[in-house]
Amino acid sequence: MHTGFLKMDNEGIPHDIPKKWLKKYDEWLKKYDELDCWSNQLTSLPESIGYLNGLQELRCWNNKLTSLPKSICHLSNLQILDCSFNLLINLPESIGFLSNLKLLDCYSNRLLSLPKSICHLSGLQELNCSYNQFTKLPESICHLSSLQELYCHNNQLTSLPDSICHLSGLQTLQCSSNELTSLPESICNLSGLQELHCRKNRLTMLPESIGNLNSLRILNCSCNQLTNLPESICHLSGLRELWSGYNQLTKLPESIKNSQQNVVYEFKKYLKIKRILNEQLILDLDTVSIITLFY
């Protein structure tokens, strides 16, 4: 339950929250557990924001922030930090002290990397670092044992770390719109993964052991350079949506004919439909609910 709520959105407040104001009302402000200052023209947050040690939610999205104050590390009760839609070029190393943080949203900034200290956010459940300028994710990210959702799409990632398999609680991985040429084989050890979105990359193949992802419900690998799908895909007993359009597929795995899954298959442009029809492969997919062909 919120003990206090301080809202400063769209009220034309100054570009900087006055430091003296925060210090003067220190005791009064301690009762607030939520601070919303989104959609203003803020260029910075004062170091004195660290006095708000009762704060649980900080939403400063859609401003003009280029950095976050180091004193943010004093917000020991913070659970939600939304600093998306700013001009951030880095996050402070001190962010690793936010041991109670559950959601970190730094979507749409100018970040080149994540601080190494992020590995100390043991309670983090959702990380959204999409629409930045990452070329790689730090190995330390794989120590986030509580992470359930990782969104890193629309960056410049050329690979995912092999140690991603240590994210044992991961349920959703969204890595679309990057420069990935392959997925690490170790990704297939994520037994709890339910959604894998890797569309619009440069993938030429999927890991052969992808069939080990027993919990997978959605696989979107469309808009890549795939020429085939691995035979083990038929082992994805929970799969409900397979999006594989806009690739270079010329045939489907033989094993998929015997699959008893109720999957939505999407075969789009670049799929040689006539060849598949001649092999009567589609006719054997009698358990499929919808087949959409675009050409």
Q: pLDDT digit string (tens) for 127-177? A: 999 999 999 999 888 899 999 999 999 999 999 999 999 999 999 999 999
Compute the distance between CA of residue 5 and CA of residue 18 in angstroms, rounded to an integer: 18
Q: Residues 217-227: pLDDT tens digits?
A: 999 999 999 99
What is the per-residue burial (b if ≥16 Cβ within 10 Å, else e) of 265-282?
Answer: bbbbebbeeeebeeeebb
What integer pLDDT is reported at residue 4 of this predicted model? 54
Quote the domain boundaries for residue 201. Answer: 159-295
Compute the distance between CA of residue 235 and CA of residue 246 in angstroms, rounded to an integer: 23
Indicate whether 136 belongs to any domain.
no
Indicate whether 92 belongs to any domain.
no
> Which of the pair, 23 or 147, is modelled with greater confidence?
147
**163 in Cβ contact with 142 (< 8 Å):** yes
Q: Which residue has the tokens 């109720």?
A: 262
DSSP for residue 207: -
Compute the distance between CA of residue 211 and CA of residue 231 in angstroms, rounded to an integer: 8
Indicate whether 4 belongs to any domain.
no
Indicate whether 191 belongs to any domain.
yes
Indicate whether 194 belongs to any domain.
yes
Query: What is the sign of the dihedral through the CA atoms of 245, 246, 247 and 250?
Result: positive
CB atoms within 10 A of CB 28: 9
Indicate whether 130 belongs to any domain.
no
Indicate whether 282 belongs to any domain.
yes
Indicate whether 262 belongs to any domain.
yes
**92 in Cβ contact with 114 (< 8 Å):** no
Compute the distance between CA of residue 129 and CA of residue 187 in angstroms, rounded to an integer: 19
CATH of the domain at 190: 3.80.10.10
> Which of the pair, 119 or 290, is modelled with greater confidence?
119
Compute the distance between CA of residue 141 and CA of residue 15 in angstroms, rounded to an integer: 33
Give me the number of domains the chain comprises: 1
What is the pTM for the complete model shown?
0.83
What is the per-residue burial (b if ≥16 Cβ within 10 Å, else e) of 162-177?
Answer: eebbbbeebbbbbbbb
Average pLDDT, the chain: 83
